Amino acid sequence: MKSGIAQSTFLLLVCPWLAPAQSLQDFEKHVTEFTLGNGLHFIVFERHEAPVVSFHSYVNAGSVDDPGGETGIAHMFEHMAFKGTETIGSKNYPLERQAMDAVEHIYDLYDAERNKGAKADPKKVAELEQQLKAAMEKANSFVIPNAYPQVIEENGGVGMNAGTGEDSTNYFYNFPRNRLELWFLLESQRFYDPVFREFYKERDVVREERRMRVESSPQGMLEEALLATAFEAHPYRNMPGGWASDIENFRLPEAIQFYKQYYVPANITISIAGDVDPKECQRLADKYFSILPSGPLPSGPRTVEPVQKGEKRVQVESPAQPFMAIGYKRPNENDKDDPVFDVLGEILAGERTGLLYTELVRDKKIALEAFADPTFPGGKYPSLFLFFLVPNMGHTVEENEKACYQIIERLKTEKVNDATLNRIKIKERAALIRRLDSNSGMAEALTFYHVNYGDWRKMFTGIDDLAKVTADDVMRVARQYLVPDARTVAYTSRPPGAAARAQKREAQ
């Protein structure tokens, strides 16, 4: 089970002030759900503590849905969703559209020439490149840049952002409650009528984002290598941002195609949390979102990752101090063992009492950091149970790897005690209460549970699943899944002579 905010499972416990069943019953009174005729689903959570509202749009499509050769296109569309509409962001839309069409036409000719490969005429390519540049400049001359986000900002919108993950794409921000209708208008129009203006400039921005997050980050490089090694076929092998050459070459019509296929109302869930009247929300939803034409629910990727046969290892050269990630194949989040993985994750990495901290960091002092993530990089499809190990000075990744395996082997032979299981259950219960303190956190969680488990109530009823997890379950799952054959190990290594080479360069 995985949500962008925090792990959140919940246990049935006898508790004088908040028995979970009552709490769900009580909570339900504040939640209203409705589905529009086109399939778009809304979850409204009333919380009148302050005159503010959080909005969260959860699109059930992410980088796993990127077509071949177009990795990163889901992320690219996310950027285009801030570019405005026909009425927001254009000085003269008919002329702008014509200019944008001209760009595509020249781009077609340019691509056609380039695609001749060795037979391409370099002069022609250069000429077309010039024309392309001029056409883009013309199209951009009709743009009122960043008009769409500006409307949000100047109306007091805060926390405006979006994120593209493997499984989903999320759009979110907060408004003062008197801007409720403005949100309905803006959000519905960006999904109804997005204009893909400045597409190729934004493509450069997206390329920069990859340089920043992946290419210039040792952690990013390791993560990319781990995924590409662990997954040989399933698209979890690609980072959500995509590969450099795909980004540099994808085209506007491809992004439109992606949008048309995946941004159908039935594939979108929206939560509104805060100082609102649900009836008013329903009225406005009808008014603004009904225009979205319905479409068939898209299917997910058909590629299934084949069973891994044997350990895989990958070394990433990096001048950074070494660190390591280890991933074990695990089933998806709808598997019956999903709660057992969550409990395992807590046993290993729960705050100051998790085994990785107490043994590797605190007692053996061989790790600076050590943690685990039970569901990585996503949960909709079979994924990884991840370990991340950062050696302490004077200690190696090998040493940490060995110590980590010792802990895993112990989990297979010794039952975890009741005190540990109880602690985990109490902590998960409290985590849910703490989550209720945040409108934006609730808005996200409601959509996440609805989409991934079919009902937002899973946030509460997941307690039953977690309550059933026994010490035997933990041992069984560790034995079944945390095995060498299902393991991928990725680590950084300082190349031999790198220090000397760097010094030499420095001296030159």
Partner 1 sequence: MRLLIASVIAVGTLLAQTEVRHGTVSNLPSYKDLKYGPLPPIKPPVPVEVTLSNDLKVFLLEDHELPLVRGSALIRTGNLFDPADKRGLAEITGDVLRSGGTPSKTGDEIDVELENVAASVESSIGETSGTLSFSCLKDNTDEVLGIFKDFLSAAQFRQDKVDLVKTQIRSAISRRNDNAHGVVQREFRDIVYGRSTPFGWRTEYSDIDNIQRQDLLSFYQRYYFPSNILLQIYGDFSASEMKAKLEQIFGAWKSTQPAVPEFPKVSSKAAPGMFLAAKTDVTQTFFDVGHLGGELRDKDYPALEVAAEILGGSFSSRLFQSVRTKHGWAYSIGASWSAQYDHPGLFHISGSTQSAHTVDTLKAVREELDKIRSSEVTDQELQTAKDTVLNGFVFFFDRPSKTLNRLVQYQYYGYPRDFIFQYQKAIAAVTKADVLRVAKEHFKPEELTFVAVGNPSEFGTPLSALGLPVSPIDLTIPEPKQTTAKADPASLTKGKQELQLAQKALGGVEKLAAVKDLEYHADVEVQSPGGPVMQVKQTNSYLASGAMRQEIELPFGKQYIYSDGNTGWLKGMQGPQNLPPAVLRQVRGEIFRQIARLMLSDRDADRTVNYGGDGVIEISAKDGPSVQLQVDETSGLPLKLAYQENGAGGPGSVEQTYSDWRDVDGLRLPFQWTVVQGGKKFAEVKIQDYKINSGLTEEMLSKKP
**Which residues within the stretch 267-326 sit at the binding site for partner 1 (CB under 8 A)?**
288, 291, 318-321
178: contact with partner 1 by CB under 8 A: yes
Please give the DSSP secondary-structure letter assigned to residue 337. Answer: T
Q: What are phi and psi of 292, to 5 degrees?
A: -65, 120
Cβ closest to partner 1, residue 203 vs residue 487: 203
Return the number of other C-beta atoms located less than 10 Å from residue 266's C-beta: 18
Instruction: Report how far residue 380's alpha carbon sits from residue 364's, in angstroms, rounded to the nearest whole number.
Output: 36
Residues 425-444 that bind partner 1 (CB under 8 A): 426-427, 429-431, 433-434, 436-437, 439
Shortest Å, Cβ 55 to partner 1: 14
Region of 1-9, 142-150, 334-342, 441-449 interacting with partner 1 (CB under 8 A): 142-150
Shortest Å, Cβ 112 to partner 1: 11
Q: Which helix (H) or strand (E) covers residue 287, if one does?
A: helix 278-289
Q: What are phi and psi of 388, to 5 degrees?
A: -130, 125
Instruction: Report how far residue 398's alpha carbon sits from residue 484's, in angstroms, rounded to the nearest whole number.
Output: 15
Instruction: Report how far residue 386's alpha carbon sits from residue 330's, in angstroms, rounded to the nearest whole number.
Output: 10
Helix axis angle, 439-453 to 418-435, nearest 10°: 120
Region of 85-93, 231-239, 331-339, 441-449 interacting with partner 1 (CB under 8 A): 85-93
Cβ closest to partner 1, residue 79 vs residue 329: 79
Contacts of 252 (CB under 8 A, 6+ apart): 100, 103, 104, 196, 199, 200
Task: Spell out the SS3 assignment of 387-449.
Answer: EEEEECCCCCHHHHHHHHHHHHHHHHHCCCCHHHHHHHHHHHHHHHHHHCCCHHHHHHHHHHH
Residues 50-79 that bind partner 1 (CB under 8 A): 50-52
Instruction: Report how far residue 224's alpha carbon sits from residue 72's, in angstroms, rounded to the nearest whole number.
Output: 13
Nearest Cα neighbor of 370 from 348, 402, 385, 396 is 348
User: For the CA atoms of 280, 282, 285, 291, what is the dihedral angle to 10 degrees?
Assistant: -130
Shortest Å, Cβ 139 to partner 1: 9
Number of residues that bind partner 1 (CB under 8 A): 118
Instruction: Report how far residue 461's alpha carbon sits from residue 455's, in angstroms, rounded to the nearest whole number.
Output: 10
Cβ closest to partner 1, residue 173 vs residue 328: 173
95: contact with partner 1 by CB under 8 A: no
Q: Can you say whether the dihedral through the CA atoms of 364, 366, 367, 368 is positive or negative?
A: positive
398: contact with partner 1 by CB under 8 A: no
Cβ closest to partner 1, residue 105 vs residue 313: 105
Residues 326-365 that bind partner 1 (CB under 8 A): 350-353, 358, 362, 365
Residues 444-473 that bind partner 1 (CB under 8 A): none
Q: Which of 7, 8, 85, 383 binds partner 1 (CB under 8 A)?
A: 85
Region of 29-37, 66-74, 249-257, 483-491 interacting with partner 1 (CB under 8 A): 249-257
Shortest Å, Cβ 336 to partner 1: 26
Cβ closest to partner 1, residue 328 vs residue 491: 491
233: contact with partner 1 by CB under 8 A: no
Region of 25-33, 37-45, 225-233, 417-425 interacting with partner 1 (CB under 8 A): 417-425
104: contact with partner 1 by CB under 8 A: yes
Instruction: Report how far residue 10's alpha carbon sits from residue 468's, in angstroms, rounded to the nearest whole number.
Output: 11
Residues 471-490 that bind partner 1 (CB under 8 A): none
Q: Which of 217, 282, 332, 396 binds partner 1 (CB under 8 A)?
A: 217
118: contact with partner 1 by CB under 8 A: no
Region of 33-41, 337-345, 463-471, 499-507 interacting with partner 1 (CB under 8 A): 499-507
Instruction: Report how far residue 111's alpha carbon sits from residue 106's, in angstroms, rounded to the nearest whole number.
Output: 8
14: contact with partner 1 by CB under 8 A: no
